[in-house]
Amino acid sequence: MTPSETELMLKGYGLTTAEIFYRMPDYTHVLNSYIWQEYDLAPDHPKLFEFVEFWQAKIEGPLHSVRFTHRKMISPGEWQNQVGEFTLH
């Protein structure tokens, strides 16, 4: 069973976004970009590096560069259960 996004975030995962620049196979002077997002663990980023290795092995467009950012949305110590009701007007 695949864990939900909230379960992953509570286990320390964060959202990793990578912008991958690659050369077109037939037009090597043309760069194209691809956006990749997945929940991953910092600082090792195993899922990102697994995807980059897959790209190098299976996809024809040679990589030019990869830049990425990692955002840890919540951590186990930051999450709190709030109970309340606010009435407006």
Q: d(Cα 46, Cα 49) in Å, to the nearest integer?
A: 5
Q: What is the mean pLDDT of residues 64-75?
A: 84
3-state secondary structure 11-71: CCCEEEEEEEEEECCCCCCCEEEEEEEEEECCCCCHHHHHHHHHHHHHCCCCEEEEEEEEE
Residue 62 has pLDDT above 80, yes or no: yes
Q: Please write the tens of the pLDDT for every residue from 72-84.
A: 876 556 666 667 7
pTM of the model: 0.76
Q: d(Cα 12, Cα 9) in Å, to the nearest integer?
A: 5
Q: Please write the tens of the pLDDT for every residue from 30-61.
A: 999 999 999 999 889 999 999 999 999 999 99
